[in-house]
Amino acid sequence: MASLTVPAEVPSVAEDCEQLRSAFKDLLKELDRELTHDFEKLVLIWTLDPSERDAYLAKEATKRWTKSNFVLVEIACTRSPKELVLAREAYHARNKKSLEEDVAYHTTGDHRKLLVPLVSSYRYGGDEVDLRLAKAESKVLHEKISDKAYSDDEVIRILATRSKAQLNATLNHYKDEYGEDILKQLEDEDEFVALLRATIKGLVYPEHYFVEVLRDAINRRGTEEDHLSRVIATRAEVDLKTIANEYQKRDSIPLGRAITKDTGGDYENMLVALLGQEEE
């Protein structure tokens, strides 16, 4: 029968915790290198703390540009100001360089002009708004977007610095004053315009943004497992119930049922478990 040996010098609780933490991080690094299947990738994302998870996802995005720009917009725009700061700190500790540095290095032109200030932002997180400012800046946005000056400095300044509450007031005034939702005027096929749309949705209508990501992941030929895993894992303890309700309103099918139709095995079981629904 196995026996336990007590070391001559018993480590303190703090030392034990630090050793366990170090060992767990080493394990996650090994998993990061070795995991290839959808289930294991989902497990990896889920086991990380939220800030570490965002740092991991952001780093993965910098390896695969173009469509991965949307992952950076998602992290920058759907997280709270404090959550984004923590993600930047985790990225810095994990990669020995800043998120802003990597984004600036790997992007060019209008994409860099938008993405660097978005990931660098530290917005006011409260509910107070300035209605006169909302009126003034809705006019600026309308003028620039009507002229198709999508990457104008003022457009990016407003989207990258104003609080979510202030932007919501600005966009409400935009619709009231000009008779059309700003997103209706951002329907060009251009990829940068698509990034602007994702930025606005992530900041002001996050549940609608995530529903679109899920619909695109599930409904396209060959499910986009990376996108599906990311949304389910990152929103499971935040607002996934709300997102699931919005999904059902949009597609007239429960999200859990849509997932079980397009996935299988342990991967399906874990997605459904995170969603908090029994398989139907």
CA dist 115 and 76 (Å) reads: 9
* Residue 218 counted as an annotated binding residue: yes
Tokens standing for residue 175: 């619709």
* Residue 18 counted as an annotated binding residue: no
Which uninterrupted H or E stretch holds 133?
helix 131-146
Three-state secondary structure of 33-62: HHCCCHHHHHHHHHHCCHHHHHHHHHHHHH
Closest alpha carbon to 90 in 120, 50, 119, 62: 50
Tokens standing for residue 121: 């932002």
* Residue 243 counted as an annotated binding residue: no
CA dist 9 and 195 (Å) reads: 57
CB 229 within 8 A of CB 42: yes
CB 211 within 8 A of CB 243: yes
Tokens standing for residue 254: 């429960």
* Residue 125 counted as an annotated binding residue: no
* Residue 276 counted as an annotated binding residue: no
The distance in angstroms from the start CA to the end CA of the chain is 47
* Residue 147 counted as an annotated binding residue: no
* Residue 75 counted as an annotated binding residue: no
CA distance to 27, 102, 148, per residue, from 40 (Å): 13, 27, 44
Closest alpha carbon to 92 in 52, 47, 48: 52
What residues form the annotated binding site for Ca(2+)?
34, 218, 220, 222, 262-263, 268
What residues form the annotated binding site?
34, 218, 220, 222, 262-263, 268
